[in-house]
Amino acid sequence: MVGLNQLVLVCLAYVVFLFGIAFLAERAARQGRGARFLRSPVVYTLSLSIYCTAWTFYGAVGYAARSGLEYLTIYLGPSLVMIGWWWILRRLVSIGRSQRVTSIADLISARYGKSNVLAIVVTVMAVIGVTPYIALQLQSVVLSLSIFAAPDLRGTDADSTFNAVSAAFWVATGLALFTVLFGTRNLNVHERHHGIVIAVAVEAVVKLIALLAVGVFVVWGLAGGVGETLARIDASPIGAWDMQGSRWITLTMLSAAAFLCLPRMFQVMVVENDEESHLGIASWAFPAYLMLISLFVMPIAVVGLDLLPAGSNPDLFVLSLPLSQNQNGLAMLSFLGGFSSATSMVIVATLALSTMVSNHVVMPVWLAMRREGATQSGDVRNVVILARRVSILFIIALGFFYYRASGGSGALAAIGTISFGGVAQFLPVLLGGIFWRGATRSGALAGLAVGFTLWVFTMLLPGLGPGVVLSQPVFDNGLFGLGLLRPQALFGIEGVDPTVHAALWSLSLNSFAFVLVSLLTFPAPVERLQGAQFVNVVDHTGANRVWTASLAGSEDLMIMTQRILGAEDAQAFFRSMARTQGVQGHLPEPTPEFIQALERELAGSVGAATAHAMVSQIVGGTSVSVQDLLAVADESAELLEYSSQLEQKSRELALTAGQLRRANEKLTQLSLQKDAFLSQISHELRTPMTSIRSFSEILRDADSLSETEKNRYASIIHSETLRLTRLLNDLLDLSVLENGQVSLHLTQAPLDEVLQRAVTTALAGQEGKLWVDISHENPDVMLSTDLDRLVQVFINLITNAQKYCLSDDPQLRISAAMTAQGLTIDFKDNGAGIAADEQAVIFEKFYRVSGSQGEGAGLGLAICQEIMARLGGGISYLPDSGGAVFRVSLPPEASVAQQGPAVLAAQK
């Protein structure tokens, strides 16, 4: 028989050994050595064996002794999940890596829009669900200790020197110490807890070897071989397949769900995962591990039932069988195996829960209490670590008090199943979150609330037994006396196994509420964004949020990061980011990419929601939501429109500027023209004035002038005065026409008559040298216009022909024709015509054809042009027609056929 003190010594030695291993692994990881081993798939697979707790090590045998093969369901579910890694675990691990998830609460909160409420709910539920489980571990360690103290191997009548509660206390203290030491060493969860993972892996090997050793001893040492063992099994009270189908299915599913949802499993499976490829190996290696660990459970149970006295606690057969055969070494190994199972579970579960509690409960509260922000005061890093340590102590204390309160009673299996049922409530929300984009935060909250309430009412409280919380009448008659609300016969459906009943109702109504509320509610923008990221995680992993970081000073971020990650890590991170950006020095530009990377880095330490809150404090709370993005898109669309408007305006401006420039050129030209006109006109005026003055002076001063001479000089003065008058008349006429002050006197006359009048007037008093021929296609055309002005134009043209046609036999042909554009009248002489370079300027004022004689001032054609413009027609020179040809055109309304006076009348 091994003494208790001896056992405690061995225990302490084993713990020191574990400490040593964990310490070495931490040191190796820090120095970058042994990464191949520390991050090998073997270690990953072994760390998964955290699933096999003391419940497996001791409880499975007890379970088998009580209920036959049912204990297997607890391992079949996880095996199926691992074998089906491609479906769920692959996604979870991808999400965990891309979103830097720190716990299952973090994952669920991140998926549903980084909701802290959801994180708190999940955390509280996890703590409530897992606390009995931790108590269970303490209970099993204390039980196993007590059996060494108890003389009768029944584990019921403990030695009076053995104080179970104080033993539990010391075990709890030791575990808390270990977890605090190795679990809160480094803050960033993504640096992995190498020490703990290695310790867990070692313990996985120890418990497997211990159980296999006991199994081998039982089968070959006690039963006498495989055949005999099988025969014994068949002959035992549990010798036939006697299984309720509903329990078989339900427990398998429940364990599969718990495997995914247990915080500690999530920790080792997703958070501590180094490479996704490890999953592929674990997918067959872990089922094999589970198979080996449950292989000898049935033989041990059967042989224990056979050999040990009736009334022995079957939960302790693994220990009591070797002890009864005086195999003290084996018993010691077995004890260490059980101790390993319990401690590794407590350490990892506490670590996972403390991360959740500190990230989702303590940190938000702390941040809310210090509104001024993380940069102002205090060392966040210390606060986080302190929060985590306090959380660890709190959770272990909770487990201890639960153990004390429950008095260490009840079969291990029952407590385990209740715990499984609690955490399984996360499953609908978890699966919905990674497969269904329509899942919303409200739906998740509703599902969790319904599922959790039902679990408490149908599983947790009844599990404590009648009279503890729920009284016997409640069991019999239902809550508030309502028959529909009986905890083990909900809605009046009786006769179902309590576990199946609870699991069925809680999970189905949980899923129903989750789906229904999700369908009815509309997710917030961040939720939709995260939902798309989570569901499509395998297809792509992209940026999830954009910070507008222009306001965030890199320095402020640096100060905050230092306080969370520690100065060294923060500086290394900033330096590497600066290097990637190609920035000199150690402060990177606060680009959105950098801020996002920083937030993820921080999320690894304090959780997504808290990291988000902290970064937003510094950046000024300007995280861009989808709504903001939409607003920005709208704004940029407006800007685009505005800029196109600007562009158009600037085009218009350029156009106007061009017009102005042209107008200015024209003005300059006009000014030059005016100057030219003035000098021209003064010249034109001076010439006659000069001769008038000279001749009038002669007349005044000369005494001896003959009458003839006097007469001649007076005639010259007279003619010059006439010329002056004519010139001034012309100028006045032109000025009136140009200013548009002229009023037209519309009269009617046939074209022929008008032309005759013009010819007659023009040729009157002249030597009848010019022969004029008038021909027109339609002699009946009536003209309706200012005829006096038109005649003036005609006279001018005829006079010009008279003056400038230098032919020996000057002829002028006047021909009129009706066209679609109106009436055209051509004046064609048989002279030399006008030189090409002069054609463009003959209509200018004061322009006279070079080499011409005569007294014209050069205003005639200019006046003609103005008149025709007033009349709505025009006058032009037709080049290359043999002689000078001027065409006068009149608008259609000015000429009406004879037969159409009615139309004319109607127009008036």
Interacting residue ranges for another protein, rule: CB under 8 A: 68-69, 72, 76, 79-81, 83-84, 86-87, 230-231, 233-234, 236, 238-243, 245, 248-249, 252, 277, 280-281, 283-285, 287-288, 290-291, 295, 298
Nearer to another protein (CB atom), residue 81 or residue 119: 81
Nearer to another protein (CB atom), residue 285 or residue 570: 285
Nearer to another protein (CB atom), residue 72 or residue 265: 72
Nearer to another protein (CB atom), residue 88 or residue 681: 88
What's the rounded Cα separation, in Å, for the pair 498 and 459?
Answer: 8
Nearer to another protein (CB atom), residue 252 or residue 355: 252
Nearer to another protein (CB atom), residue 77 or residue 523: 77
- The CB-of-226 to another protein minimum distance in angstroms stands at 10
- The CB-of-32 to another protein minimum distance in angstroms stands at 23
Nearer to another protein (CB atom), residue 8 or residue 69: 69
Report which residue type is found at 160.
S
Contact assessment for residue 861 and residue 879, using Cβ atoms and an 8 Å cutoff:
no
- Estimate to the nearest angstrom the gap between the alpha carbon of 744 and the chain centroid: 75
Contact assessment for residue 732 and residue 797, using Cβ atoms and an 8 Å cutoff:
no
Nearer to another protein (CB atom), residue 9 or residue 235: 235
- The CB-of-157 to another protein minimum distance in angstroms stands at 32
**Pairing mode, if any, of strands 771-776 and 811-819?**
parallel
- The CB-of-555 to another protein minimum distance in angstroms stands at 43
Nearer to another protein (CB atom), residue 79 or residue 440: 79
What's the rounded Cα separation, in Å, for the pair 111 and 98?
Answer: 12
Nearer to another protein (CB atom), residue 241 or residue 522: 241
Dihedral through CA 557, CA 560, CA 562, CA 565, nearest 10? -110
What's the rounded Cα separation, in Å, for the pair 415 and 460?
Answer: 9
- The CB-of-68 to another protein minimum distance in angstroms stands at 7
Short-list 168, 207, 200, CA closest to 182 = 200
| C-alpha dihedral sign at 845, 849, 851, 856 | negative
- The CB-of-369 to another protein minimum distance in angstroms stands at 48
Nearer to another protein (CB atom), residue 83 or residue 405: 83
Contact assessment for residue 862 and residue 845, using Cβ atoms and an 8 Å cutoff:
yes
- The CB-of-148 to another protein minimum distance in angstroms stands at 31
DSSP for residue 467: T
| C-alpha count within 13 angstroms, C-beta hemisphere, residue 877 | 20
Nearer to another protein (CB atom), residue 78 or residue 364: 78
- The CB-of-69 to another protein minimum distance in angstroms stands at 6
- The CB-of-545 to another protein minimum distance in angstroms stands at 31
- The CB-of-81 to another protein minimum distance in angstroms stands at 8
Nearer to another protein (CB atom), residue 284 or residue 677: 284
- The CB-of-98 to another protein minimum distance in angstroms stands at 19
Short-list 128, 180, 150, 142, CA closest to 54 = 142
DSSP-based three-state secondary structure for 825: strand
Nearer to another protein (CB atom), residue 48 or residue 323: 48
| C-alpha dihedral sign at 534, 536, 540, 545 | negative
What's the rounded Cα separation, in Å, for the pair 780 and 61?
Answer: 134
Contact assessment for residue 860 and residue 809, using Cβ atoms and an 8 Å cutoff:
no
Contact assessment for residue 590 and residue 555, using Cβ atoms and an 8 Å cutoff:
no
Show the tokens assigned to 34: 């042994």
Nearer to another protein (CB atom), residue 274 or residue 379: 274
What's the rounded Cα separation, in Å, for the pair 335 and 166?
Answer: 19
Contact assessment for residue 618 and residue 562, using Cβ atoms and an 8 Å cutoff:
no
> 267 Cβ partners below 8 Å, 6+ apart?
103, 348, 351, 352, 355
- Estimate to the nearest angstrom the gap between the alpha carbon of 520 and the chain centroid: 24
Show the tokens assigned to 379: 């060392």
3-class secondary structure for 778-811?
A: CCCCEEEECHHHHHHHHHHHHHHHHHHCCCCCCE
DSSP H stretches of helix in 271-362: 277-295, 297-307, 317-324, 328-357
Dihedral through CA 137, CA 141, CA 146, CA 148, nearest 10? 150
> 629 Cβ partners below 8 Å, 6+ apart?
546
- The CB-of-94 to another protein minimum distance in angstroms stands at 15
Total number of residues shown for the chain: 908
- The CB-of-64 to another protein minimum distance in angstroms stands at 10
First-residue to last-residue Cα distance in the chain: 140
- The CB-of-290 to another protein minimum distance in angstroms stands at 8
- Estimate to the nearest angstrom the gap between the alpha carbon of 199 and the chain centroid: 42
Report which residue type is found at 368.
A
* Alpha-carbon separation of residue 451 from 119, 404, 427, 440, 489 (angstroms): 16, 28, 10, 16, 16
Short-list 313, 358, 42, CA closest to 202 = 42
- The CB-of-535 to another protein minimum distance in angstroms stands at 18
What's the rounded Cα separation, in Å, for the pair 689 and 43?
Answer: 125
Nearer to another protein (CB atom), residue 99 or residue 283: 283
Burial of 725 (0-12, 13-18, 19+ CB in 10 A): exposed
Nearer to another protein (CB atom), residue 113 or residue 287: 287
- The CB-of-344 to another protein minimum distance in angstroms stands at 23
Show the tokens assigned to 879: 């080049």
- The CB-of-514 to another protein minimum distance in angstroms stands at 24
Short-list 255, 193, 189, 214, CA closest to 47 = 193
- The CB-of-239 to another protein minimum distance in angstroms stands at 5
Nearer to another protein (CB atom), residue 64 or residue 362: 64
